[in-house]
Amino acid sequence: MAKMIHSMIRVLEEARSVEFYRQAFGLEVAQRVPFDGFTLIYLSNPETGFELELTVNAGRGEPYEPGNGYGHLAVSVEDLDAEHERFTGLGLPVGKLVDMQHGGKPFARFFFVTDPDGYKIEVIQRGGRFQ
């Protein structure tokens, strides 16, 4: 059986992105691997074995466009209200809290935050299928 291990996004400024993911999600650099022309930065935390891979291409001066094929990354948290308040206090670009229903029953409670390169991250209350 296959095991999901990481997702990769291209970012313009390494330090800015690393700081965003550290502040927002407690992700730290697990490994930084420089190559000719690009650098790979793997971010993780003790909560999961899944990693976020940041790719920084040398000489890139213009921002990337997430495009219409990218949807979002998702992370689950224990206390959504506290995280929304914390993100807001940090000045991160957060959206409103959303309570999503399906069939008249609660399905998900979440908000979105946008990283410095325009990628959307869903922050969802842990529970049910969202562990």
Q: What is the pLDDT of residues 82-120, one digit of tens each?
A: 999 999 999 999 999 999 888 898 889 999 999 999 999
Class of domain 71-131: alpha beta
Q: What 3-state DSSP class applies to 118? A: coil
Residue 42: enclosing H or E segment and its boundaries?
A: strand 38-45
The per-residue pLDDT for 2 is 63
For the chain, the structural domain boundaries read: 1-60, 71-131
Tell me which residues are annotated as active site. Answer: 122
Asked if the 1-60 domain carries CATH number 3.40.190.10, the reply is: no
Half-sphere exposure of 64 (CA within 13 A, CB side): 20
55 pLDDT higher than 80: yes
Same topology, domains 1-60 and 71-131? Answer is yes
* pLDDT higher than 80, residue 39: yes
Please tell me the distance from the alpha carbon of residue 37 to that of residue 28, in angstroms, as a whole number.
Answer: 23
Q: At 54, which helix (H) or strand (E)? A: strand 48-57
Q: What is the pLDDT of residues 5-17, one digit of tens each?
A: 899 999 999 999 9
Q: Which two tokens stand for residue 22?
A: 């550290």
